[in-house]
């Protein structure tokens, strides 16, 4: 019979069916991958790009960091010495930001690309709610009267930078943040005339940055100062 004369006929037909089946399943697989990426970004970790010099030498412009968004869901609060990403509380960043293109927005939305939201900032937590923080002259920064061990301050900078401050009592539920590059960081010191007196609400903190993932030559965990 014809089928017996063409031993490859069934295999060829089966191969075509498999090919058609793969193309039908591919959109479903892509959709699942995107949903998983979105869930991970929303509840677990998110990538952020470093836009400025304010955290040198700990972080360089163009570094990509991962931010832990999971532990805050379990009641974890920002701790002294942690590097955190937070939303602009208002007036910390220029009103006009570079507008990302449609592809960048889409990939950022599902977490496949660092955030394109120019309204996010990254600084180090210096003091938390209930602390009294101050810095005079060439420093050091003091929290509750005790001098901080500040090993990550940019070489050549003083702990106060060019803006001594305090003593300031940080309200409960808020944090005082500073960049490691003290003379090139518009941080809590420069926004004391705004609501909160330069402090940030814990609710505005997205999460703790815990590792540099790009470029690969700079892969490292992010240290917590004491």
Show the tokens assigned to 73: 């869901």
Task: Please enumerate in sequence order all residues whose Cβ is within 8 A of that of 143, keeping only pairs 6 or more positions apart, or say none.
Answer: 80, 126, 127, 131, 132, 133
The string of DSSP letters for 182-209 reads GGG---GGGGTTSTTTT-EEGGGEEEEE
> What 8-state DSSP symbol labels residue 57?
T
Set 41, 69, 115, 123: catalytic member: 123
CA neighbor of 55 nearest in space, from 108, 100, 120, 147: 120
Active site residue: 54, 115, 185, 225, which one?
54
Tokens (6 digits) for 151: 């090993």
- Tokens found for residue 32: 């699942």
Cβ atoms within 10 Å of 8's Cβ, excluding its own: 8
Based on C-alpha coordinates, what's the Rg of the chain? 25
81 Cβ contact partners less than 8 Å away, ≥ 6 residues apart: 124, 125, 224, 225, 226
Active site residue 142: no
**Active site (annotated) includes residue 21:** no
Catalytically annotated residues:
54, 123
């Amino acid at each position: 019979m014809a089928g017996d004369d063409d031993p490859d006929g069934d295999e060829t037909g089966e191969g075509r069916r498999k090919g058609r089946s793969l193309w039908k399943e591919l959109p479903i697989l892509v959709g699942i991958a995107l949903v998983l990426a979105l869930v991970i970004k929303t509840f677990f970790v998110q990538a952020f790009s470093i836009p400025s010099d304010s955290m040198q030498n700990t972080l360089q412009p163009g570094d990509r960091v991962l931010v832990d968004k999971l532990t805050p869901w379990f009641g974890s609060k920002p701790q002294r010495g942690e590097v955190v990403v937070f939303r602009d509380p208002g007036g910390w960043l220029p009103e006009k930001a570079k507008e990302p293109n449609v592809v960048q927005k889409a990939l950022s939305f599902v977490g496949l690309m660092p955030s394109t939201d120019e309204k996010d900032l990254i600084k180090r937590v210096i003091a938390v709610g209930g602390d009294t923080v101050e810095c005079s002259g060439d420093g050091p920064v003091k929290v509750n009267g005790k001098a901080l061990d500040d090993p990550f301050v940019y070489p050549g900078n003083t702990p106060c930078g060019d803006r001594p401050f305090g003593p300031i009592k940080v309200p409960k539920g808020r944090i005082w943040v500073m960049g490691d590059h003290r003379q090139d960081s518009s941080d809590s010191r420069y926004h004391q005339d705004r609501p909160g007196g330069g402090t940030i609400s814990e609710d505005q903190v997205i999460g703790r940055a815990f590792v540099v993932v790009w470029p690969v030559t700079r892969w490292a965990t992010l240290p917590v100062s004491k």
